[in-house]
Copies of this chain bind each other. A is one copy, B any other.
């Protein structure tokens, strides 16, 4: 009976190639939303409403099988993405799969394949098979790579080359794709006339800018955005409007080019939703700490509260080797201000391709940022976790504290390096505040009557 109703339900939803967004607008409660409602502790009606008005997206390609659905957007926990991908200097499918699995194990909610070279199709397909989280890609990388092979240079790339790459990724089951349609001829010419300190740091942005300059024409993704939407609609993948002109250093933050792109993107959000395609918007980048909140709030208004996905913000340029930490600072502030989804940054950012050893540091740091921001966004619902671990800490219940830690294995390992005879830790031993409080203030950490304190 249940199977039959489920079948009829999907038959109804997809009979007329209806997208998830359109289904939500008709009030259909998809199975995915029930799962998400349970995980996020929200009403399913809240999700239907959020999906309908575009404030929440559920990136899931209709052609992909086994995916744990997630929601990204207002009222939900901030999510973390893990980038992987091969390059011309290191192309090893097994390593990319290993990195993706490690990332998911440490709590990444999605994986993006940013391969720019090597066995790109094989890497993407291997990733789609190896993880059950939503997978995203940037098909312009593949289009540019193919154009170099076919035509001798990325600037000879045709719109068909781009659409072919998008369709191939869609057929493979990719759940969301970055589309750099907001890079305009005007904005690129502005950067040429008024050079930035760090120029253009988005690969997609640089490819489109080179194409625009060489051909003297408008961005083909912008001019043909309707054709992109047709494919997105057919496979029902979500579009992530890429910020090709994001600032690449503190000095370039919130400048003309960045804001011009955001304005273009704001119009593309409306177009996407009108065609029933789910859409989110990518954000910076490098940005001083005190500019993040106003930028995020401004962006949310311009994009009509579409989910925001940031590649940063990184709050200083001076810390290569530690950009998981500069991201944690900016990311936490961004999430508190309204960002819904953080792209993890690894210690290798600005220096080289991430290796498996970088994954844990990057993912855990981003999850810390997301949670610190969620405490502000979601209040008590997020704070429950902090409350539970704090109670375990105050009662010196170490096992409970480890289990509640964001990375139990690391917490346990550090605690055990220097054993303490006191039942407390090796910093204070018998002079632990909780033992003192227990003996003299009657708190309940544990019996401390026999301790010399």
Residues of A within 8 A of B (CB): 87-90, 116-117, 141, 144-145, 148, 152-155, 188, 191-192, 195, 197-203, 205-207, 209-210, 213-214, 248-251, 288-290, 315-322, 324-326, 328-329, 332-333, 336, 347-348, 350-353, 355, 364-365, 368-369, 371-373, 375-376, 383, 385-387, 389-391, 393-394, 401, 404-407, 410-411, 413-422, 425-431, 433-434, 436-437, 439-443, 452-453
Contacts and interface: CB of A to CB of B under 8 A. Distances in A.
B417 A355 contact: yes
Contact of A387 (B197, B213, B321): B197
Given A250-B383, A426-B353, A440 B210 contact: yes
A195 to B, nearest CB: 7
A322 B406 contact: yes
Contacts of A192: 441-442
A153 B450 CA distance: 11
A351 to B, nearest CB: 4
A415 to B, nearest CB: 4
A321 B410 contact: yes
A368 B425 contact: no
B452 A411 contact: no
Contacts of A419: 89
Contact of A439 (B87, B210, B428): B210
B203 A318 contact: no
A369 B453 CA distance: 36
Given A352-B414, A375-B289, A427 B319 contact: no
Nearest to A410: B321
29 contacts: A88-B428, A89-B418, A90-B418, A144-B431, A153-B452, A197-B390, A197-B391, A198-B393, A200-B433, A248-B394, A249-B386, A249-B390, A250-B386, A288-B383, A289-B333, A289-B372, A290-B376, A316-B375, A316-B386, A318-B386, A319-B406, A321-B410, A329-B333, A333-B333, A347-B410, A350-B393, A351-B411, A353-B427, A355-B417
A389 B347 CA distance: 17
Contacts of A427: 87, 116, 352-353
B368 A329 contact: yes
Contact of A203 (B152, B188, B425, B433): B433
Contact of A315 (B117, B213, B353, B372): B372
Contacts of A145: 431
Contacts of A434: 199
A433 B413 CA distance: 41
A82 to B, nearest CB: 15
A154 to B, nearest CB: 6
A413 to B, nearest CB: 8
A332 B322 CA distance: 15
A201 B404 CA distance: 20
A405 B319 contact: yes
Given A154-B436, A199-B434, A317-B389, 14 more contacts: A88-B428, A148-B453, A197-B390, A207-B436, A213-B440, A249-B386, A289-B375, A290-B375, A315-B332, A317-B390, A319-B405, A319-B406, A325-B365, A350-B425
Contact of A368 (B319, B351, B411, B428): B319
B426 A89 contact: yes
A390 B148 contact: no
B414 A329 contact: no
A361 to B, nearest CB: 9
Nearest to A431: B116
A395 to B, nearest CB: 10
Which of A213, A425, A453 has the most B CB atoms < 10 Å from its CB?
A: A453
B90 A318 contact: no
Given A214-B440, A418-B352, A318 B206 contact: no
